[in-house]
Amino acid sequence: MGKTPEWGRRLAGRLSAFLLLAVLLAASGPFQTLFVSSVLAEPFVEDVQFIPPKLPSDVDPYEPAHPEDLQEEQLYAKAAILIEAKSGEVIFEKNADERMYPASTTKILTVLLGLMMGDLTAQVTMTDTAADIPDDSSTIPLDVGETINFKDLLFVTLMRSGNDGANLIAETISGNINDFAILMNQAAAMYGCTGTNFTNPSGLFNNDHYTTARDMAKIAQAAMANETFREMAKVYTYSLPRSNLHRSRVLVSQSPDFLNPNLEGNEFYYPYAIGVKTGYLNRAGYCYVGAAEKDGVELISVVFYTTKSGRWTDTKMLMEYGFSEFVSMTPVELYNKNPVVVETSGFSMEDEDLGRLPLEIRPTEGARQIHIVATRTEMEAMARNLKQTVLIEYTRSFNAPITQGEVMGKMIYYPADGGSPVEYELLASRSIARRLNAPKTLEEIEAEVYADPNPFPPFSWELLFVALSPFAGLFIVIRLLLRLFRRTGRHRKGRVPKPGNRYFR
């Protein structure tokens, strides 16, 4: 091979030097962010303005007196969903699988993971990295170097929507924000989310930080199943104890409208509300994940990209729709819609109901209180077909006499969630007298036999008559049959002609 020309060697050397310089610049200086941001998913500065959504001009006006007639077009929210909290059954939805930016509703999962994986008694200290948030961020606020109890941190982060608090939770659990985001996505997948990706614990805007209304409802359902989270979700004021840098102070929620009945001029207070979290970004619009409970029915709602007041009005309309569709009953209330009626025997001829006996119900001692939540239609069907819903066992015969309040059997209800069965006693609702000449029941005969020490019953003409009656009857039948056969034979013998000869007569 020929030698490389001198000018070629110079060009190669210059190219190598340029490439080396590029690598060094990428490792430090202004180019570092360019190379690392795609990996660490740094938050983007919002460069758009929020455009409030409007209702279609031809939509029918919402009628509060008829919440069951709610239509998708009557919600300002671009995406929404309503579920029953225990079962997760979807009651209402609008664009529930559309990708949306969740804003600060992200903190629901952040706080839940803190509850599940953190030490609630630990003391944690605000770091420089946790406090590194945009100037317009919502904060608790906590100063760098300030020490706070971890449980208090969770409370005020959720209530104040503090981005500084969310970052500190992430660092406490995972060491840094990026590892915590990985944990968030693993948890979301565990809860059944299929359209969700989180890049930070606070909800700051990032193109790759998104979810759906359906997924967020699943996360909220898991959170509201945690008793400590439920306690946090409905708090709108919190007394933060004295720290190493601050005196004790009372913090107030930045958006208490749905929960606080004492807020002056608050037209959005909802008496059944029990939480949970607001959110807002220009690209996300106003968001709210709500929870409400009424008469044993618990609902969870999500509204994404709605108006400032629409997050409350949309949520209220969803909740009222759900409460109009779903009801809650105890097994006792369900049974009383269609009580069991049994037919007794041996009752007095003076009994006006001819022995019909409705059975009353009562919980057994120590039975836990449970509720059945279903649509009104489903509940009516369960009441009509009670024996397909519960197991009924009778512990006593239906022979009179029967005393009011006497235990006749039991009803066993098996919860749909797989919990332990609950037993109830079935009682006689009234007394039924016995007919004077009523034959003895099998139980009475057995009782008399077992009570008599003599294995052979005493002599009795009545007993002898009863014992011999079948034989006497059989004897009479046989005699009659024999007599009948004899008569038939004679009759036939008399009709047979005698042989004769026509020639000799």
Single residue among 428, 451, 483 that ends a domain in this structure: 428
Is 420 in a helix, a strand, or coil? Answer: coil
Say yes or no: 107 and 168 in one domain. yes
**Higher per-residue pLDDT: 38 or 472:** 472
**From CA 286, how far away is CA 284, in angstroms rounded?**
6
Residue 165 lies in a domain: yes
Of 94, 138, 161, 174, which is the active-site residue? 161
Q: Amino acid letter at 159?
A: M
Least confident of 44-53, 217-226, 308-317: 44-53
Of 94, 107, 218, 316, which is the active-site residue? 107
Residue 383 lies in a domain: yes
For the chain, what is the domain count? 2
Closest CA to 273 of 305, 220, 235: 235
Say yes or no: 77 and 101 in one domain. yes
Residue 377 lies in a domain: yes
pLDDT value of position 69: 93
17: pLDDT strictly greater than 80: no
Q: Is 174 a catalytic residue?
A: no
Least confident of 34-48, 100-114, 129-143, 463-477: 34-48
Say yes or no: 95 and 228 in one domain. yes
Confidence of residue 262 (pLDDT cuts 50, 70, 90): confident
Say yes or no: 302 and 340 in one domain. no
- Percent of the chain's residues with pLDDT above 70: 83
Residue 176 lies in a domain: yes
Tell me the pLDDT of the chain averaged across its residues: 86
**From CA 164, how far away is CA 170, in angstroms rounded?**
10
Say yes or no: 305 and 363 in one domain. no
103: pLDDT strictly greater than 80: yes
Residue 257 lies in a domain: yes
The CATH number of the domain holding residue 135 is 3.40.710.10
- Percent of the chain's residues with pLDDT above 90: 69
Q: Is 104 a catalytic residue?
A: yes
Say yes or no: 201 and 172 in one domain. yes
**Higher per-residue pLDDT: 424 or 481:** 424
What's the domain range around 416?
332-428
**Higher per-residue pLDDT: 391 or 387:** 391
Say yes or no: 213 and 131 in one domain. yes
450: pLDDT strictly greater than 80: no
Say yes or no: 312 and 383 in one domain. no
User: What DSSP string describes 266-298?
Assistant: -TT--TTEEEEEEEEETTTEEEEEEEEEETTEE
**Higher per-residue pLDDT: 312 or 367:** 312
120: pLDDT strictly greater than 90: yes
Q: Is 294 a catalytic residue?
A: no
Confidence of residue 497 (pLDDT cuts 50, 70, 90): low
Single residue among 300, 329, 358 that ends a domain in this structure: 329
Say yes or no: 321 and 379 in one domain. no
| 23-58: pLDDT as tens digits | 333 433 333 333 333 334 444 455 689 999 999 999
Say yes or no: 368 and 339 in one domain. yes
Residue 458 lies in a domain: no
Distances, alpha carbon 115 to alpha carbons 101, 172, 220, 498, in Å: 24, 12, 14, 119
Least confident of 234-243, 353-362, 492-501: 492-501
Residue 378 lies in a domain: yes
Q: What is the dihedral sign for C-alpha 29, 35, 39, 43?
A: positive
User: Which range, 33-37, 252-256, 287-291, 337-341, is most confident?
Assistant: 287-291
Mean pLDDT of 287-305: 97
Closest CA to 168 of 143, 136, 185: 143
| 121-174: pLDDT as tens digits | 999 999 999 999 999 899 999 999 999 999 999 999 999 999 999 999 999 999
pLDDT value of position 498: 58
**From CA 438, how far away is CA 455, in angstroms rounded?**
26
**From CA 332, how far away is CA 362, in angstroms rounded?**
7
| Cα torsion through 372, 378, 384, 385, rounded to 10 | -80
Single residue among 368, 398, 428 that ends a domain in this structure: 428
Confidence of residue 191 (pLDDT cuts 50, 70, 90): very high
DSSP character for 467?
Answer: H
Say yes or no: 262 and 387 in one domain. no
Say yes or no: 337 and 324 in one domain. no
311: pLDDT strictly greater than 70: yes
Of 104, 138, 255, 301, which is the active-site residue? 104
The phi and psi torsions of 184 (rounded to 5 degrees) equal -60, -45
**From CA 495, how far away is CA 500, in angstroms rounded?**
15
Residue 369 lies in a domain: yes
Least confident of 2-6, 146-150, 224-228, 347-351: 2-6
Q: In what side-by-side order are the strands of the sheet with 273-281?
A: 90-94, 79-84, 297-306, 285-294, 273-281
Residue 276 preceded by cis peptide, ω within 30 = yes
**Higher per-residue pLDDT: 39 or 472:** 472
pLDDT value of position 486: 78
pLDDT value of position 265: 83
| Cα torsion through 201, 206, 208, 209, rounded to 10 | 40
